Chain A
Amino acid sequence: MKVVEAFRQVAEDQQGILLEWMQRLAEGEYELLQRLGVDYTHRQSELLLGEYVAMLEKDPDTFQLKEEELIVKLVDELSMHLLRQGVTPHAFKPYMYALKGVIARRLKQHPDTDIDNLFDGYMVLDTMMNKIMYYYYESYISRREQVIQSQAMAIQELSTPVIQVWTGILVLPLVGAVDTQRAKVVMENLLAEIVRTKSPHVIIDITGVPIVDTGVAERLIKTVDAARLVGAECVLTGIRPEVAQTLVMLGVDLSGITTKATLQHSLSYLLDKQREQSEQSDAAPREKSV
C-alpha cells in the first residue's frame, strides 16, 4: 500500500516532527504546554509520537486502541496530569491537532504524493487521532467521575457527624438543608451510633439549618421517634426565633419532643437526668435489702 510506504518515509524523521511539533506548541499559546511545563510535555510527546506513528501503519478499521497497553498508559497519565492541574478537558485537542498538522504537511511535501493517497493518508491520520481523542475523553471523564464520587462521599460524611460529648450523650449538629435523602442518612448514622456507643441521650442541634418547614420538622420528628425506639431520648436545641415562629404558624406539633434553648442547657439537663437515674439505680437494691 502506497500510503503506508509514504508514512514510513515521513516517520523516519521522528525527531524532526517532534521538534516542529514542540515549536508550534511554543509559538501558539497552548494551555497544555503552559500547565505541564516544557520538559514534561517534551518527554511525553516523544513517547506519544512514537506510538502514533506506529499506529499509522496499522489498519484503521480493525485497530483497537484499548488493546495497546503503552498508548493507553500514556493517555491515562496525560489525562490524570491535566485533571490534577485543573486544565480544561479541551486542552488536549489543539495539542494533538498541532501534531496532525505537522505530519499532514510533511505527507503533502512527500515526492510520491498525489491527490488520492494524500486523501487516504489524511483519513488514516484523522481516524487514528480520533481514536486517541475518544480514549482521552473517556479516560478524563471517568477520572473526573471518580473525583466527584469521592468528594460526594466526603461531603456526606462531613455533613452528618455524630459526636459523643459525654458518657452516654451524643450530639448531632445539623448544618445545611435537610432534604429527604440526607435525613435518611442522618437517621441511619445516628441510630447506628446510639447502638454502638450505647448512649441513651442525644442532643440534636439545628442552629445550622437555614429553613425549617413542615417537611424538615416531619423528618426531625421521625428521627426522634426512631431514636426513641432503639432506646435513646432526644433533646432538640438551637431553634431560632424565626424558626419557632414558623413552626407554630405552620401548626407543627413538637410537643412530644423536649426542647432546650442552647446546647449548654441541653447538656446540663441531660447530665442532671443521668445523675438522677444513677442515684435511683443505686438506691433500688438498698431499698430491697431493708
Chain B
Amino acid sequence: MQVPILKMNDVLIVTLGNEITDEEAIRIKQDILVKIQDTGCEGLLLDISVVDLIDSFMGRVLNEIAEMARLMGCRTAISGMSPQVAITMIELGLKLEGVYTALTVERGFDWLRNT
C-alpha cells in the first residue's frame, strides 16, 4: 500500500490507513525520513483517525518515527487517535512520550506551526 506524503507549508502530512502490514509500516517509516531530508520540513503530522486497531509493533513504529524525525530536526504530532486505540496503547504500555497528540488534524497542524 502506497501512502501519500503531502507537504503543506513546512509540514509533512501523512494519513495512515487501516490494515498496514509490518513490512509496509517499515517502508512508510523510511519514506517519511527520506521525505524529511528532501524537503527540510520541520514538522510531521501523522493522522491516524481511520485506524481502529494498533498492535504493539505499529505502536513501536510510531514511536520510532517520532524519535527518528526528532533526530533529523523535525517535530512530530499524531492526530485523531480513536478511544479504542488509545486504550489499547495504554494497555500495551505505549505512551508515545515525546510525541504531541492532537484531537484533530487542524489542532495538530496549528501546534506544529506555532510552538
Complex alpha-carbon distance, A103 and B14, angstroms? 84
* A195 with B103: CB separation less than 8 A: yes
| Least CB distance, B64 to chain A, in whole angstroms | 17
Our count of residue pairs bridging A and B at CB distance below 8 angstroms stands at 64
Complex alpha-carbon distance, A262 and B71, angstroms? 40
Complex alpha-carbon distance, A284 and B109, angstroms? 12
Stretch at the interface among B17-25, B29-37, B38-46, B86-94: B86-94
Give the interface size class of chain B. 20 to 34
* A191 with B104: CB separation less than 8 A: no
* A281 with B114: CB separation less than 8 A: yes
* B113 with A225: CB separation less than 8 A: no
* A194 with B96: CB separation less than 8 A: no
Instruction: List which A213-247 residues lie within 8 A (CB) of chain B.
Output: 222, 225-232
* A230 with B114: CB separation less than 8 A: no
Contact with B along A262-290 (1 / 0, CB 8 A): 00000000000000010011011000000
* B101 with A231: CB separation less than 8 A: yes
* Cβ-based interface call for B81 (8 A): yes
Complex alpha-carbon distance, A231 and B104, angstroms? 8
* A230 with B96: CB separation less than 8 A: no
- A residues less than 8 Å from B86 (CB atoms): 191, 226-227, 229-230
Complex alpha-carbon distance, A200 and B107, angstroms? 9
- B residues less than 8 Å from A198 (CB atoms): 103-104
Residues of A in contact, count (CB < 8 Å): 23
* B87 with A187: CB separation less than 8 A: yes
* Cβ-based interface call for B95 (8 A): yes
Residue of B nearest to A198 (CB): B103
Complex alpha-carbon distance, A231 and B101, angstroms? 5
Complex alpha-carbon distance, A192 and B96, angstroms? 20
Residue of B nearest to A222 (CB): B90
* Cβ-based interface call for A112 (8 A): no
Contact with A along B96-110 (1 / 0, CB 8 A): 100001111001101
| Least CB distance, B45 to chain A, in whole angstroms | 12
Complex alpha-carbon distance, A200 and B86, angstroms? 15
Residue of A nearest to B83 (CB): A191
* A230 with B95: CB separation less than 8 A: no
From known contacts A222-B90, A229-B96, A230-B103, infer whether A192 and B83 are also in contact, taking CB-CB under 8 Å. yes
* Cβ-based interface call for B79 (8 A): yes
* B83 with A230: CB separation less than 8 A: yes
* Cβ-based interface call for B56 (8 A): no
* Cβ-based interface call for A188 (8 A): yes
* Cβ-based interface call for B2 (8 A): no
| Least CB distance, A43 to chain B, in whole angstroms | 54
Complex alpha-carbon distance, A95 and B96, angstroms? 67
* A191 with B115: CB separation less than 8 A: no
Complex alpha-carbon distance, A187 and B79, angstroms? 19
Complex alpha-carbon distance, A230 and B100, angstroms? 10
Complex alpha-carbon distance, A216 and B81, angstroms? 25
| Least CB distance, B57 to chain A, in whole angstroms | 17
From known contacts A225-B95, A228-B101, A229-B96, infer whether A188 and B107 are also in contact, taking CB-CB under 8 Å. no
From known contacts A225-B90, A231-B107, infer whether A195 and B95 are also in contact, taking CB-CB under 8 Å. no
- B residues less than 8 Å from A280 (CB atoms): 110, 114-115
Contact of A226 among B87, B108, B114 (CB under 8 A): B87
* A188 with B81: CB separation less than 8 A: no
Complex alpha-carbon distance, A266 and B113, angstroms? 27
* B102 with A231: CB separation less than 8 A: yes
Q: Could you tell me which B residues sit within 8 Å of A by CB distance?
A: 79-83, 85-87, 89-90, 95-96, 101-104, 107-108, 110, 113-115
Q: Could you tell me which A residues sit within 8 Å of B by CB distance?
A: 187-188, 191-192, 194-195, 198-200, 222, 225-232, 277, 280-281, 283-284
Known: A192-B83, A195-B82, A198-B104. 4 other contacts (CB 8 A): A187-B87, A229-B96, A231-B80, A284-B110
